[in-house]
Every structure is written in C-alpha cells, then in structure tokens.
C-alpha cells in the first residue's frame, strides 16, 4: 500500500494528520480512534498479502512479528509525514516503548507531584474561548480571551484520562516543567500559568498567529539563503538557551517552529525534552520524528545534545532545498539514507552554506558541529557571520518576512478545519476538582502554576 500523508497547519506542536492510502482517505492522530472508511482487515491484507486468506485472529501474532522492525521505527509521542496507516495499526496492537534508562516507566496510577499549587484560583470560566486553532492526541489548542483584561492567549487543553491511559503523564509534566524555564527567552513560547480541573489540564500560553514555518515552507517550497539563515539563527539561539539549562529539545522540525505576528520564530512543544543533561551526559530514548532522526538515535546508541544540532542542520537543509536531507517516501530507505548515504548538496549554494550543512549533518556525533563547545561553535560559523547575535536576541533585526496579521482575530494562518470547529461545552465549564474520586484528580499534583506577575 502506497501511503502518503497530507498535513494541515496547526499551532503549538499539535498536528492534524490526514492519511491518504491510495484513493481512500483516513483521518486520525497517532494513538486516537481509527478511521471508519476501511476495516482493519482490509488494511492488514493490503499491507501483508501473504495473510489475505487467513482469519484475522490467526494472523495477528505473525503480523506483529513481521511488523516488529517497523514498530520499532514508529516514533514515540511524535508524528511522521511518512509512517503508514498500517504501521500505526500494528503499533496500537502492540504498543512498544523504550523509556529512558534513568527514568522508571510510569503506570496509569502513578502520581506526579511538582510541589504545592501556586495557582488554585484560575478556572475555565475566566476565559471566553473563541476558536479552535489546533488539535492533538490529548486535546486541543484554543484561542481564548481572558475576561478580566481582554488579553488573548493560546490555551492548550488536555484530557487527563487520555494522558493516563497512554501513560504519558511524565511527558506532560516535563513539558510543563520546561515551559516554566522558558519565559526569559524571546524565541521560546511562554507559559503564563497553568491550572486543572478534575477532567482536564490547561496550559495558558503566548498566542502566536503567524503560522507554522512548515505552513510557509509548503507554500513557498524553499527559502532564499538570507531568510533561511535568519530563522536558523533564531532557532539556534533558542536551542542554545535550552542547552544552557541542561535540556535537550529532541524534536526540532518545521512544524514546531511558529512565526509571531512580526515574523520572528517561536519554538514550541516541549513534550520530548530531556532535562538534567549535562555537557557530557547521554541518554538513549528512541524518540523524535523520522525525517530528522540523527544516525546515533537510529542505531539506538547513547546520544547527547548534538542531536539537536543534527536536527538544526536538517531543518536548514529543508528550508534551502524544500525537503529533508535524506528524504524518501520509503521509511526504511530513508533510515538507510540517514545511516549510510553521503549528504547531497545540489544547486548554487554558498560555500558557507554547504560547509555548515556538512558540519551539522555529520554522521559521527563526536565530529559534528557543536560537539566541542555547543552553541558557541554554531554562532561562530562563517555562515552566521552576517548575524549580530545581540541584535538578534533583542529582536532589533527586521525579519525577512512579515505574516501581515491584522490582530489577534486574524486567523488566516490557521487551518479552517480547526477554526470552523465548534468548541465543546466541557472545555468551558469548571467542575468541582474536589468532587472527583478518580485517579486522574491526583495524578498531576503541582501542575497548576502562576507567575508572580499574574493577578487573579
């Protein structure tokens, strides 16, 4: 079955995925309900013809065995443009994950306590929820206006039961923890506060409506070198800041890079971040997005913060050439390309551009650009010689592209599929947190947060 995936723009790291097997469409998000246009049986036999004449119940163990290699290639907590619908079926039948060796795997009843709540008073009824602007596996992102002062925010609303069912509470709490550290950097989305009800978690985030970098790249196919350099510099500045906090990002891709209303980048979605990573420390979790996986991750070897510089190289390459550097519609072939194929640089690019791509996309992580002095190596490369890094950080450099949004209500860079969707009444109501006896009410202790500047 030849499957390719179409994507539509969505903010804050949430992606709506539309599956197109042949001429029959399938809509869904990894881990969510299956589409109903084709049965599971038909998907199985299309992908594995040798099982076509056998009952489904008899072939599932064998199917899982045959799909084991592909299952291992299905990446935790992150979508791919390439993985087929059938691979997701197998993945859901036998959900195989590789936890960090330094972290004990959680169970659905694990309680995670980040300390006493600093924000017990915020509630959903503080907001007018205006539009859905994104969707993901755990919930939605909504444009919301706070009633007390009319300020616009992007509110990420997650369902506790779904998170617990998929054993993802550690990642959600890690995202919340990383967000608390990002408020001081101009190119990282800011968390204003968070709160919870008995059913849901609420992240109140910066509202960014210039569109995903992926959205603009799809429309324009590729960028000229000065524009690509500007975006790469702002991304590198954000990643370098995370590294200074001993955080590896691990999921850098155009879908996680937003543009603000002026055209500056805003890095978002910290669900795959790994905290506590000192300069020489390594981890081994198999995670990321297939097109941007570093060779050491594919080999399941210990890796360090240089995986982020590989991803920066892949994003820069895509901005300049229109596709990721080792792209293939066949996932196995793409992985083989990442591991073994030399980097191909075609067209008339400057020597500096070719050199930084070769450096960032070096297959040996110990020889990769950034391996010795991290961000300092990146910023000192000749490719970035036109950049004044102090001016960049303080946003004194005019972005090469202006999204031309008229204001918070201008949603031209959001997919109408989202913005035309009705807002569920359950998102806007405030159930009594103390009234719930389910484990979900206790599993996210300390999630709520408010900065000292927030006034309730």
CATH number at residue 423: 3.30.200.20
pLDDT the model gives residue 237: 98
Domain annotation covers residue 343: yes
119, two tokens: 């924000």
Report yes or no: 174 and 190 within 8 Å, Cβ to Cβ.
no
d(CA 148, CA 429): 17
Q: Give Cα 273 to chain centroid, integer Å.
A: 10
Q: Are residues 232 and 198 in the same domain?
A: no
Q: What is the dihedral of CA 74, 79, 84, 87, to 10 degrees?
A: 30
Asked whether residue 456 is assigned to any structural domain, the reply reads no
Cα separation, 310 vs 368, whole angstroms: 8
Range of the domain at 21: 3-93
Based on the fold, state whether residues 238 and 177 are members of the same structural domain.
Answer: no
Report how far residue 247's alpha carbon sits from residue 279's, in angstroms, rounded to the nearest whole number.
Answer: 10
At residue 430, the pLDDT reads 63
Is 165 marked as binding a ligand?
yes
Count of Cβ atoms closer than 10 Å to residue 387 Cβ: 18
Alpha helices in 193-255 (DSSP H): 213-220, 225-244
Angle at 203 between CA 201 and CA 205, to 5 degrees: 170
| 455 occurs within a structural domain | no
In a shared domain, residues 68 and 193: no
Report the CATH number at residue 235: 1.10.510.10
pLDDT at position 331 is 94
Q: Per-residue pLDDT for 172 more than 60?
A: yes
Q: How many CB atoms lie within 10 A of CB 284?
A: 15
What is the three-class DSSP state of 16?
strand
The answer as to whether 235 is a domain residue is: yes
Distance CA 243, CA 277 (A): 8
Pair (418, 335) in one structural domain? no
Mean pLDDT, range 283-301, rounded to an integer = 93
Both 157 and 285 in one domain: the answer is: no
Is residue 250 within 8 Å of residue 338, measured between CB atoms?
no
Q: Are residues 7 and 140 in the same domain?
A: no
Which band of pLDDT confidence, cut at 50, 70 and 90, is reported for residue 232? very high
Same domain, yes or no: 199 and 220: no
Task: Please state the length of the chain.
Answer: 456
- Catalytic positions, written as ranges: 251
Comparison of pLDDT for 346 and 438, the residue scoring more:
346
Residue 138 counted as domain residue = yes
Whether residue 260 is found in the same domain as residue 305: yes
| pLDDT at residue 381 is higher than 80 | yes
- Residues 4-14 as b/e (b if ≥16 CB within 10 A, e otherwise) read ebebbbbbbbb
Q: Could you report the per-residue pLDDT of 304-356, keeping only the tens digit for each? A: 999 999 999 999 999 999 999 999 999 999 999 999 999 999 877 899 999 99
Question: Over the chain, what is the mean pLDDT?
Answer: 75
In a domain, 161, yes or no: yes
pLDDT tier at 427 (50, 70, 90 boundaries)? confident
Q: Give how many domains the chain has, as a whole number.
A: 3
Range 133-150 average pLDDT: 88
Query: pTM of this prediction?
Result: 0.73
287 vs 298: CA distance, rounded Å = 9
- Tokens found for residue 81: 């443009």
**Max Cα distance, the chain (Å):** 66
Q: Is 4 helix (H, G, I), strand (E, B) or coil?
A: strand
Q: Is the pLDDT of residue 16 over 50?
A: no
Pick from 170, 174, 171, 144: which is nearest to 157 by CA?
Answer: 144
pLDDT exceeds 60 at position 1: no
pLDDT of residue 54: 53
Per-residue pLDDT tens for 19-72? Answer: 222 222 222 222 233 333 333 343 343 444 444 445 545 555 555 555 554 444
What pLDDT band is residue 266 in, cutting at 50, 70 and 90? very high
In terms of domains, do 229 and 202 share one? no
Residue 73 has pLDDT above 80, yes or no: no
φ, ψ (nearest 5 deg) of residue 234? -70, -40
Count CB atoms within 10 A of the CB of residue 106: 18
Mark which of 77, 93, 109 sits at the end of a domain. Answer: 93
Are residues 246 and 129 part of one domain? no
109 lies in a domain? no
Phi-psi region of 293 (alpha: psi -120 to 50; beta: other; left: phi over 0): beta
CA–CA distance, 164 with 158 (Å, rounded to integer): 11
**CA distance linking residue 132 with residue 415, whole number of Å:** 10
Domain boundary residue, one of 345, 367, 393: 393
Residues 435 and 388 in one domain: no
In a domain? residue 88? yes
- What backbone torsions phi and psi does residue 32 show, to the nearest 5 degrees? -95, -175
Asked if residue 197 and residue 312 are part of one domain, the reply reads no
Of 256, 244, 248, nearest to 273 by C-alpha is: 248
Start-to-end CA distance of the chain, whole Å, equals 55
């Amino acid at each position: 079955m030849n499957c390719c995936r179409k994507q539509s723009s969505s903010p804050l790291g949430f992606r709506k995925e539309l599956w197109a097997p042949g001429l029959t469409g399938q809509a869904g998000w990894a881990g969510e309900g299956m589409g109903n246009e084709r049965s599971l049986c038909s998907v199985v036999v299309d992908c594995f013809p040798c099982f076509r004449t056998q009952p489904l119940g008899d072939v599932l163990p064998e199917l899982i065995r045959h799909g084991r290699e592909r299952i291992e290639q299905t990446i935790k907590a992150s979508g791919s443009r390439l993985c087929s619908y059938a691979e997701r079926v197998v993945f859901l039948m036998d959900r195989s994950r590789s936890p960090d060796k330094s972290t004990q795997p959680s169970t659905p009843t694990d309680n995670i306590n980040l300390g006493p709540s600093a924000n017990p008073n915020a509630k959903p009824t503080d907001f007018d929820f205006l539009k859905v602007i994104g969707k993901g596996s755990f919930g939605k992102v909504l444009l919301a206006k706070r009633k007390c002062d009319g300020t616009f925010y992007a509110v990420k609303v997650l369902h506790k039961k779904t998170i617990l069912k998929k054993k993802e509470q550690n990642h959600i709490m890690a995202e919340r923890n990383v967000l608390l550290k990002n408020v001081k950097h101009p190119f990282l989305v800011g968390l204003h506060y968070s709160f919870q009800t008995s059913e849901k978690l609420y992240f109140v985030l910066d509202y960014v409506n210039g569109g995903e970098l992926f959205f603009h790249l799809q429309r324009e196919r590729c960028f000229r070198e000065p524009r690509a350099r500007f975006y790469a510099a702002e991304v590198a500045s954000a990643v370098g800041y995370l590294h200074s906090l001993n955080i590896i990002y691990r999921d850098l891709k155009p879908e996680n890079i937003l543009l603000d209303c002026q055209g500056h980048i805003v890095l978002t979605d910290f669900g795959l971040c790994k905290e506590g990573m000192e300069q020489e420390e390594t981890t081994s979790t198999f995670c990321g997005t297939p097109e941007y996986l570093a060779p050491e991750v594919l080999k399941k070897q210990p890796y360090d913060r240089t995986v982020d510089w590989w991803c920066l190289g892949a994003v820069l390459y895509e901005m300049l050439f229109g596709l990721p550097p080792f792209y293939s519609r066949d996932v196995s072939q793409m992985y083989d390309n990442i591991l073994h194929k030399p980097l191909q640089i075609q067209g008339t690019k400057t020597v500096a551009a070719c050199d930084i791509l070769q450096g960032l996309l070096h297959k040996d992580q110990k020889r990769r650009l950034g391996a010795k002095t991290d961000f300092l190596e990146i910023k000192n490369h000749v490719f970035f010689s036109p950049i004044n890094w102090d001016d960049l950080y303080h946003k004194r450099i005019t972005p090469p592209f202006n999204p031309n949004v008229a204001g918070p209500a201008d949603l031209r860079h959001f997919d109408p599929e989202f913005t035309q969707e009705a807002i569920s009444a359950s998102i806007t109501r405030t159930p009594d947190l103390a009234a719930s006896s389910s484990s979900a009410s206790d599993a996210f202790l300390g999630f709520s947060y408010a900065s000292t500047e927030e006034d309730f």
